[in-house]
Chain A
Amino acid sequence: MNIHIPTPLRTYTGGAETVAVPGGTVAEVFTELTSQFPELKQQLFTTEGKLRSFVNVYLNDEDLRYLPSKEATTVATTDELTIIPSIAGGACSSREAVCCSCCPLL
């Protein structure tokens, strides 16, 4: 199946945007992916082997976290897996003890 790699992780796939990887389940596909590209492992997984909290994985249009079988979900060669780190943020809030260096200017 094809795995789509986000821009920041292409450093570890030789610049490839899409990588074809064999496997019968999502877990097997990830094992094969990190076997082919070992440096991806620490980018995607914690030392405990869990997907990092900011790494989203979509099987076609479904969030892996919400699939009943999660990583054990079976996949077909025509399926697509998309790895997409989260994007969020925002200005400082009054609850933050340390804000940006510019805040005394406010």
Chain B
Amino acid sequence: MLHIHYTDYEALRAHGEETYPHECCGVLLGKSTSEGNHVHQIVRAGNTRTDSAHNRYNIAPQELVKIQRQARGLGLDIVGFYHSHPDHPAQWSPTDFAEAHWIGCSYVITAIGKGKAAITNSFLLTGTGEEDKKFEDQAVEIEVAEQISQQKGQA
């Protein structure tokens, strides 16, 4: 399960609306436990795929290095990533799968329909390596102050 606070959840969805019709992307910092990935902070990243930003994203490795360094300073880890699919469903694509290498991490995708955030889904990359990796649907638990609501596949 992916555990994320409501404000972070809304922030990553808002990011997708801001960059529409281009894809947004960012990193989820937190902790991984036996109960899933817990997001403590989200970090916006730049999309370097300016050649095809409406349907591609890429985070510059140097930016990732800095974000990982930032996480280390906070005592956190990279536990996932997020990006948007402008006018496209919140399902992973063949490109998402081919480019996914962070096993154990959550890949959060938000569908942005005509500029408005719609469904947000999370997929956990499982396996032991490139040969047997796969995406599994991952439930999302959104924490709202002291009240916790569970949802799956619903904005």
Contacts and interface: CB of A to CB of B under 8 A. Distances in A.
**Binding site secondary structure of chain B:** mixed
A8 B103 contact: yes
Interface residues of A, number: 34
Nearest to B85: A91
A93 interface: yes
Given A61-B62, A61-B65, A86-B61, A42 B129 contact: yes
A88 B96 CA distance: 7
A7 interface: yes
A87 B99 contact: yes
A7 B85 contact: no
Interface in A17-33: 17
Contacts of B27: 87
B72 A17 contact: yes
A7 B78 contact: yes
Contacts of A92: 55, 88, 93-95
A6 interface: yes
A93 B57 CA distance: 13
A90 to B, nearest CB: 4
A105 B88 CA distance: 10
A8 B102 contact: yes
Contacts of A103: 89
B91 interface: yes
A100 B59 CA distance: 22
Contact of A8 (B58, B72, B105): B105
B42 interface: no
B23 interface: yes
B81 to A, nearest CB: 5
B101 interface: yes
Contacts of B64: 56, 84, 87
Nearest to A5: B68
Interface string B18-56: 000001010100001000000000000000010010011
Interface of A: 4, 6-8, 11, 17, 42-43, 52, 54, 56, 58, 61, 63, 82, 84-93, 96, 98-103, 105-106
The 6 A-B pairs of least Cβ separation, nearest first, read: A90-B56, A89-B96, A56-B61, A91-B88, A85-B101, A88-B58
